[in-house]
Chains A and B, each alone.
Chain A
Amino acid sequence: MPKKNIQKTKSIKKDSGIKSAREKMIGQHIGYRYDVNLLPDYKKLTPFLKKYIEHMGWDDLNWLEDVHMGYENGKPAVFDRNINGWVTTPPKMKLPKNQQDRDMIARELLIKFQMSPNHPLVVLKKAYQKKD
């Protein structure tokens, strides 16, 4: 993972960005706090992601192009569409300032989370999956 421009995750202000009267009234942000349309910079690809792309037989990041490091309750987090929820980064993890580097870390974390035997879907599938 990239180590340049390291900053502590604690320094990210909780709920910073609630500014307009409408946002204050509803108590949450309107819109995103990061660029959801940012295209990935392939020069920042990590070795783990290269291996994943090779394993899947793809030419590039494919669906991971849409994965970015976002926020949940003011903490850095990545959204997992399979559970429709946010996964916060480990508390001790230090994140770079650059969004491209942060996004690559988010992609790596998400793959590890989704493929983990501890992923909530494993338990849910055991309980509810239809059998042929």
Chain B
Amino acid sequence: MAGIKKSEHKSYGMGLHDEVLTGRTQQTFFNSEEAENFFYHDAFDVDFNKRATIDAEKLQCKELNKKIKELIKQGYGTIVLKNPGAKHSLGVGILQKLNLIVEGSLGYFGVGSIDGPVVRISGRVGWSCAENMMSGKVVIEKNAGSCFGAAIRGGDLICKGSVGARSGIDMKGGTIIIGGDAGAFTGFMMQRGRIVICGDVGANLGDSLYDGTIFVGGKIKSLGADAVETEMTDLDVDWLKRKLKVAEIDRKIDFSKMTKIVSGKKLWNYDNLEPSERKGAI
């Protein structure tokens, strides 16, 4: 780093750069017999029964997100957001447990980068809802825009209505559940996790997916490159039954008749340096 001598840097003082961060080294930090603790070291202890309401009508996104964090610091476990007015980037970066109730619709990039909260949205959401979500549960009562759950890594993201194109693009974990239909390129470049679509899905489903599983209840317009159909297992059916209850989706579905899509894994061994071989594989 420019202008900072090795010995002056804070992290060197703490001995961090002397440690090799491999799996074996991590073991020295960790005692598996440590006492039960369910909090991240910087998380606040909140009470779900302690409830607060924020009127978002006259607040800008930054002020509103700050207000949510202040209430969390005060121990409020349930926060109700009134009049969100489809403003963008609301409820982002919440890194702990919380009940967030949004009475209305969110704009673009709503509840992005969250890690833990349970969020209920009574209206619709714009592009890239819950982008980069790490854990928690988000339930949207109506429809969602494109790139729904882009790059999520964990947690349950549920839309009871229909969603736009490229839902679950680049997802690396977690579960996306769609009560209605989904647009084109759903699960594009998906790397891990699960997508459940109760209705129909557009063209190029699971295009170039590296890994992960997609379950479809309705019709599939077309499959993308390297997406292949496989057989449902009993574990899949049990998991789907339980997960749709968690998602609060009442729709009657014959789970055994759902279509299961996985990666054909033909793209695994090819890269941009081998375009002709790659083309032959798919």
Contact = CB atoms under 8 A, between A and B. Distances in A.
Contacts, number: 145
Interface in A65-100: 65-66, 72-73, 75, 77, 80-81, 83, 85-91, 93
Contacts of B250: none
Nearest to B66: A132
Given A56-B38, A57-B118, A66-B193, A123 B16 contact: yes
B173 A63 contact: yes
A56 B14 CA distance: 32
A122 B41 contact: yes
Contact of A115 (B37, B48, B269): B37
Give the interface size class of chain B: 35 or more
B186 interface: no
Interface in B203-234: 211-213
Interface string B16-46: 1000011110110111101011111110000
Contact of B173 (A66, A111, A121, A132): A66
Nearest to A54: B38
B252 interface: no
Contact of A63 (B11, B97, B174): B174
B154 interface: yes
B27 A87 contact: yes
B156 interface: yes
B208 to A, nearest CB: 16
B26 A85 contact: yes
A36 interface: yes
Contacts of A81: 134, 153-154
B38 A115 contact: yes
Given A39-B236, A116-B29, A86 B22 contact: yes
A63 B269 contact: no
Given A83-B26, A85-B21, A39 B36 contact: no
B29 A72 contact: no
B246 A22 contact: no
B23 A114 contact: no
Q: Which A-B residue pairs are the 4 nearest by beta carbons?
A: A63-B154, A86-B23, A72-B23, A63-B135
18 contacts: A37-B192, A39-B235, A56-B97, A62-B154, A62-B156, A72-B23, A75-B24, A85-B23, A86-B23, A90-B32, A112-B37, A116-B37, A119-B29, A123-B14, A123-B16, A125-B42, A127-B11, A127-B14
